[in-house]
Amino acid sequence: MAEIYIGEEDYRSFEDKTFGDYLEQRYPELYAKALAVKFASEKKDLSARIPGPGKIEVLTFETEEGREIFWHSSAHILAQAIKRLYPDAKFDDGPALKHGPGHFFYDIYLEHKISEDDFPRIEEEIAKIVKEDLPLKRRTMSRQEALAYFQQKGEIFKVDILKRLSDNTEISLYRQGEFEDLCRGPHIPSTGKAGVFKLTAVSGAYWKGDAANPMLQRVYGVSFPTQEELEKYLAKLEEARKRDHRKLGQELKLFLFVEEGPGFPFYLPRGTVLFNTLCEYIREECVKRGYVEIRTPIMLSQDLWVRSGHYENYREHMYFSEVEKKGFAIKPMNCPGSILVYQSELRSYRDLPLRQAELGLVHRHELSGVLHGLFRVRSFTQDDAHIYCTYEQLEGEIEKAISFTKEVYERFGFKNILVYLATRPEKSMGSEEAWQKATQALIKALAKTGTAYQVKEGEGAFYGPKIEFNIEDALERHWQCGTIQVDFNLPERFALEYIGPDGKKHQPVMIHRAILGSLERFMAILLEHYNGKLPLWLSPVQVKILTISQEQLVYAQEVLQELRKAEIRCELDDSNEKISYKIRQWNAEKINYAVIIGRKEAAEKLISVRSRGHQETETMPLEQFLEKLRAEIAQKNCVN
For the segment 554-580, the average pLDDT, to the nearest whole number, is 95
CA angle 612/614/620 to nearest 5° reads: 85
Would residue 343 count as lying in a domain? Answer: yes
Q: Which long-range contacts (CB under 8 A, 24 or more apart) does 240-244 make?
A: 240/475, 240/477, 240/528, 242/531, 243/475, 243/527, 243/528, 243/531, 243/532, 244/373, 244/528
pLDDT for the residue numbered 100: 67
Number of domains in the chain: 4
pLDDT in tens, 359-386: 999 999 987 777 889 999 999 999 999 9
State the Cα–Cα distance between residues 206 and 107, nearest whole angstrom: 9
pTM value surpassing 0.85? no
Contact 35, 70 (CB under 8 A): yes
With bands split at pLDDT 50, 70 and 90, how would you rate the model's confidence at 38? very high
Residues 290 and 392 in one domain: yes
Contact 107, 92 (CB under 8 A): yes
With bands split at pLDDT 50, 70 and 90, how would you rate the model's confidence at 458? confident
How many Cβ atoms from other residues are within 10 Å of residue 239's Cβ? 13
State the Cα–Cα distance between residues 466 and 5, nearest whole angstrom: 30
Residues 482 and 620 in one domain: no
Q: Which of 438, 341, 335 is nearest to 384 (CA)?
A: 335
Residues 307 and 237 in one domain: no
Domain end point (choices 60, 89, 109): 60
Would residue 534 count as lying in a domain? Answer: no
**CATH for 442:** 3.30.930.10
Residues 37 and 75 in one domain: no
Domain end point (choices 464, 498, 529): 529
pLDDT for the residue numbered 425: 85
Contact 141, 171 (CB under 8 A): yes
Would residue 258 count as lying in a domain? Answer: no
Would residue 247 count as lying in a domain? Answer: no
pLDDT surpassing 60 at residue 34: yes
Residues 559 and 597 in one domain: yes
pLDDT surpassing 90 at residue 546: yes
Sheet with strand 196-206: strands edge to edge: 90-91, 104-109, 215-224, 196-206
pLDDT surpassing 80 at residue 1: no
Domain end point (choices 499, 529, 559): 529
Residues 138 and 22 in one domain: no
In angstroms, the first-to-last Cα distance of the chain is 31
Residues 118 and 75 in one domain: yes
Contacts of 633 (CB under 8 A, 6+ apart): 536, 537, 542
pLDDT surpassing 80 at residue 462: no
For the segment 229-235, the average pLDDT, to the nearest whole number, is 92
Backbone CA torsion sign across 382, 388, 391, 396: negative
With bands split at pLDDT 50, 70 and 90, how would you rate the model's confidence at 477? confident
Contact 430, 494 (CB under 8 A): no
State the Cα–Cα distance between residues 232 and 439, nearest whole angstrom: 39
pLDDT in tens, 241-264: 899 999 999 999 999 999 899 999
Looking at 151-160, 451-460, 547-556, 606-615, which range is the least confident one?
Answer: 451-460
Backbone CA torsion sign across 58, 63, 69, 70: positive
Whether omega before 353 lies within 30 degrees of 0, making that bond cis, reads yes
pLDDT in tens, 169-208: 899 999 999 999 999 999 999 999 999 999 999 988 778 7
- DSSP element (H, E) containing 299: strand 299-301
pLDDT surpassing 60 at residue 640: no
Listing DSSP states for 223-285 in one string gives EESSHHHHHHHHHHHHHHHHT-HHHHHHHTT-EE--TTSTT--EE-HHHHHHHHHHHHHHHHH
Contact 91, 157 (CB under 8 A): yes
Looking at 73-82, 267-276, 456-465, which range is the least confident one?
Answer: 456-465
How many Cβ atoms from other residues are within 10 Å of residue 301's Cβ? 14
pLDDT for the residue numbered 553: 94
Judging by beta carbons within 10 Å of its beta carbon (0-12, 13-18, 19+), is residue 86 exposed, middle or buried? middle
Q: Which of 26, 36, 33, 29 is nearest to 57 (CA)?
A: 36
For the segment 553-563, the average pLDDT, to the nearest whole number, is 96
Assign 3-class secondary structure to 516-546: EEEHHHHHHHHHHHCCCCCCCCCCCCCEEEE
Contact 329, 302 (CB under 8 A): yes
pLDDT for the residue numbered 68: 94
For the segment 316-343, the average pLDDT, to the nearest whole number, is 94
pLDDT for the residue numbered 156: 92
Residues 223 and 78 in one domain: yes
By annotation, the residues acting in catalysis are: 335, 364, 382, 384, 386, 466, 512
How many Cβ atoms from other residues are within 10 Å of residue 145's Cβ? 11
Residues 16 and 73 in one domain: no
Would residue 535 count as lying in a domain? Answer: no
**CATH for 206:** 3.30.980.10
State the Cα–Cα distance between residues 129 and 133, nearest whole angstrom: 7
Residues 184 and 217 in one domain: yes
For the segment 551-561, the average pLDDT, to the nearest whole number, is 95
Would residue 538 count as lying in a domain? Answer: no
pLDDT in tens, 416-450: 999 999 998 877 877 888 888 889 999 999 999 99
Contact 26, 55 (CB under 8 A): no
Using only C-alpha atoms, the chain has a radius of gyration, in whole angstroms, of 28
Contacts of 578 (CB under 8 A, 6+ apart): none
With bands split at pLDDT 50, 70 and 90, how would you rate the model's confidence at 639? low
How many Cβ atoms from other residues are within 10 Å of residue 141's Cβ? 14
* CA atoms lying within 13 Å on the CB side of residue 36: 24
How large a percentage of the chain has pLDDT more than 70? 98
Domain hosting residue 35, numbered range: 2-60
Sheet with strand 137-141: strands edge to edge: 137-141, 171-176, 179-182
**CATH for 565:** 3.40.50.800
Contact 169, 143 (CB under 8 A): yes
Residues 501 and 583 in one domain: no
pLDDT in tens, 202-215: 988 778 766 778 88
State the Cα–Cα distance between residues 552 and 601, nearest whole angstrom: 9
State the Cα–Cα distance between residues 431 and 435, nearest whole angstrom: 6
Q: What phi and psi, each to the nearest 5 degrees, are found at residue 634?
A: -60, -35
Would residue 294 count as lying in a domain? Answer: yes
Q: Which long-range contacts (CB under 8 A, 24 or more apart) does 618-621 make?
A: none
pLDDT for the residue numbered 99: 66
Would residue 164 count as lying in a domain? Answer: yes
pLDDT in tens, 122-151: 999 999 999 999 999 999 999 999 999 999
Residues 184 and 36 in one domain: no
CA angle 42/220/265 to nearest 5° reads: 100
